Each structure stands twice: as C-alpha cells, then as structure tokens.
Structure 1
C-alpha cells in the first residue's frame, strides 16, 4: 500500500523539519522498491498557496499543491519554524483540522505542535515540541500535557516530535510503524544516520 503524505509548507519553515522527513520517506521508497515492492510513500509538499516558500535561512522550495486543493491525505506532517503567520491563517488551520478528521495520522515536528494546537486537533494525550518552546506551548495551551526530554510521542492518530533533527527519528519511527523495522533500519543505514528503534 502506497500512503499519500502531505508536508505543509510555509514561509520561514525550518528546512530540516520538512526536508528531513521528506528524505526519510524518499529513501524508504528506494529500499522498498529495490526489494521489488511498490513505493511505500507518495510525498506532496502542500503550500499555503502555490508559490514557492522561502524557508528559514533563505532556501526557496517549490510546492506540489496548495491548500485550495481538496485532496485528502493518509498522513499529514506539519513542520515547525516561525509559525506565527500560519497560526493566524484560518484557511491553514481549517485545512489541518479537516485533514486530521480523515487522515490515518497527523504529525508535527518542532513548533509544528503550535499549529496542531491552534487547529484544535490536540487533546489530553501528551505532546512535545522543541526544548526551547516547551514553556511557551504550556503557557499558551495550559490544558495540554506537554512533555520534555523525549524525541517523539505517537498516539496512533496523532504524533509530535521534539525539535528539528527529532523529525528524522519520528519519520523513521513512522516507516517502522507503516512498513517494518527492517525497512526503517535499512533506511537509516542508507542515510548513514545512527538510529535505534528504542530511541
């Protein structure tokens, strides 16, 4: 089964938050297809609109689709970065909430957790974010159970990760969950990334 994955893109997105998981899913596809299987993931970069985004540090990244497209995705990943403008964008928050209702999984990396909170898709289950933003997340959403010193948390339909490079751990975990430990381990090895399933 090939799962469709949407990665939300916006100006000032953190490059590794978005591109790290993209690379994990891409390399996992290479591992799977080398074995004669169908690609495990079809990844789409979904922009707030159809313009290329300007990520943190100035990297320009083209998108495949926009919020105006009405496709539903199996997995929705919301990266972090400077999220203030997106958090004030009613269309973006509505898109996250709508996708969450139909997706197998809605996930965040780093301060993407703020967007999940603003969209109203988080509940009493523990969440995490970048260590630098833990207290702000607790302050803005005091009903959230915000955890620190964890790489990621997965509750089945919701997953959150700590900052930036933790998105790699989360994405490898998702490859393990949706494919197998073997595929995830071989993906990490192909990327020369030290990863343990128990992390």
Structure 2
C-alpha cells in the first residue's frame, strides 16, 4: 500500500512528521507492506514552517500510485490558488482508497471539491473561515477528527497524530494502532 503525504512550503512540521511517524511505526510493528512517503509539487527542497527544510521522496511527476493520500496544513493560502496542485489533489483522490487532511489541509481538499456535503473539521482557529469560504461543507468544531466514507479530516497539528492512529485501525487493526501509540509513548485520544 502506497501512502503519500503531500508537503509544501510553510507546511506545519508536525502535520506531516506526525502522520509519517505513526504510519511508518505501524508498518514496522505490523510487518505491513506499507510504503510511506512525502510528495512535493516539484523535486526541490520544501521550506516547512519555521524554515525547516524537507526534501520529499517524490514529486508530482515521479510518485507511484497513491492508495492513501494525506494533505497537511500550514500556510495554505498559496496552495489553494495553484491550479496544478488542486488538479493533482483531485486526480490522486479520485483513485485513492482513503484521503485525509491534517489541520488546514482541509482547505486544499475543499478547493478541489472533494468535501462537498461532508462533515469535516480543521484547526480550531480556522473553523469559521473554512465554513464561510466553503459553505457546502458541514464544518464542526467539537471533533479532533471526522471520518466520512473515504475522507478523514482532523483538527490541528497533534490531532493529526490521533487521526493517523485511527487510520491505522481502519487500514489494519485497533490492536496495531494501540501498539503503535504505545511504541511512540503517545497517549492516543481515540474519541473524535
């Protein structure tokens, strides 16, 4: 299973490193055949929040088929204005089994018209903006993550770790998700 995490300039570091750690740890503990990787638009170094340099494993042109797509948050304002990014997200999502967002990554999924009619969430600070900008979404503020069919959206930063553990439980077993949280010495908040 190929799990691609989309990164971009000014992405929140824990938004992508948290899910990456959860999924790669679960892969190791569960003897899974999961290929977890970072994807950026171009094969350049991405400057995440705080000037944290990250080099994706693949670019839009070089990544393998993606079974699970995770779109992270950060300063998303420029990302939603990029036709190439929105088109890529839409195309990858159309063939992926699961699509998830962390924090303001939900804005990027919404811009690609993937969340219309669904109940979703985002970082608490951006709830009103997401609701106003994308009125076809049912935006809730009292959930760390929301799972709706093939789509999962989460609140900000650490909520992405909780959501990723939930994703492990859906892709494999609850037991593996609990083992992963224990290995990470992380207190998993299971309730949505």
Report the TM range for the smaller structure's normalisation: over 0.9
1:57-113 deviation per Cα after TM superposition (whole angstroms, max 9, x unaligned): 111111111112363210000000001111111111001100111000111000000
Structure 1, unpaired ranges of 5+: 34-38
Q: What is the match of residue 6 of structure 2?
A: 8
Matched, 1:178 2:171: yes
Aligned counterpart for 1:155 among listed residues 148, 154, 170: 148
Indicate the SS of the match to 2:16: helix
TM-score relative to the length of structure 2: 0.96
**Pairwise CA RMSD:** 1.2
TM-score relative to the length of structure 1: 0.93
Q: What is the match of residue 64 of structure 2?
A: 71
- Contact 1:67–1:91 (CA under 8 A) maintained in structure 2: no
- Contact 1:181–1:197 (CA under 8 A) maintained in structure 2: no
Number of residue equivalences: 192
- Contact 2:39–2:63 (CA under 8 A) maintained in structure 1: no
Mapped partners of 1:178, 1:70: distance in 2:
21
Structure 2, unpaired ranges of 5+: none
